[in-house]
Amino acid sequence: MQRVGFSLGGGRNMQKGLVDSMIVMDYDNAFEDAIEWWERQLEDGWELHISQVSLMEMLKGIAKSPGSREKAFNDFRFRIQEIRKEGKIRRIWPITQGISKIAHSLLEQYCRRFTPPSWCERMESLICDMLIAATALKHGLFLFTENLRDFQWIDSLRVEKVDYEIEGGGEMT
């Protein structure tokens, strides 16, 4: 897929992209390929954003990990704050009424075209995917994902599969 950006003063392209949850998880889990991909995007002039939905999905994974949940949640909040301070995340987009309406419409389109998954966890992921896609559409962001098939049916969405693979990637520690 062709990447589209706009030129800022000085000729540097500033492109804005939304990073899907699995990529954020890979980055947060310090997978080397994910970190290299993230850094390369920043070097190439990408402004990277994430959805509040991705943080919520990560919290669910953290809650399943052994040990002190409070410590795990505090460590997670600290890591996200540090990533933001370092400029690696430009913005975390909240779920707004407008995003919710777009996500509802996308889910309805999906259900008209495909048979929704019958198991609860996959349906939950589908709803999260629709909220993430809606965020990208609402704010004119390019979407980076590991799961192209989850989004490629959305005609108006600019989406690209990341060029790295993690064996067993995206699992919460």
Q: What is the percentage of the chain residues whose pLDDT exceeds 90?
A: 69
Q: What is the band of 171 on the pLDDT scale with cuts at 50, 70, 90?
A: very low
Candidate from 41-50, 64-73, 154-163 with smallest mean pLDDT: 64-73
Phi/psi of residue 96, nearest 5 degrees: -110, 175
Mean pLDDT, all residues of the chain: 87
Q: Specify the DSSP element, H or E, that contains 143.
A: strand 142-145
Third-level CATH fold of 8-93+139-161: Rossmann fold (3.40.50)
Q: What is the band of 168 on the pLDDT scale with cuts at 50, 70, 90?
A: low
Inform me whether the pLDDT recorded for 10 exceeds 70.
Answer: no
What's the CA angle centered on 14, arms 10 and 17, to 5 degrees? 175
Could you tell me the pTM of the whole model? Answer: 0.85
